[in-house]
Amino acid sequence: MSLQELIVSAIVFFCVFYVGNRIVNFFKGANRNDNPCANCTTGCELRDLMEKKKQICREEQKSKRKNCCH
């Protein structure tokens, strides 16, 4: 095996290790119930849905606070 083949195989090994590590960390984050949109791009439908639900909940809480005192 020549030096060039060793270098190429080392680079391939580190690339595979890096990608595998990223995949494992992604699934570990899902198991820990981390924010699923932490790494989303700007067009993430899940993040938009979560923000919409949060806004609806905030509006409902405000209306409950106003109604309880009347």
Q: How do residues 5-62 score in pLDDT, each as one tens digit?
A: 999 999 999 999 999 998 888 777 656 666 666 666 666 777 778 788 888 888 777 7
Find out whether 21 and 12 touch, Cβ atoms under 8 Å.
no
Q: What is the pTM of this model?
A: 0.45
Of residues 64 and 1, the one with the higher pLDDT is: 1
The tokens of 5 are what? 């083949």
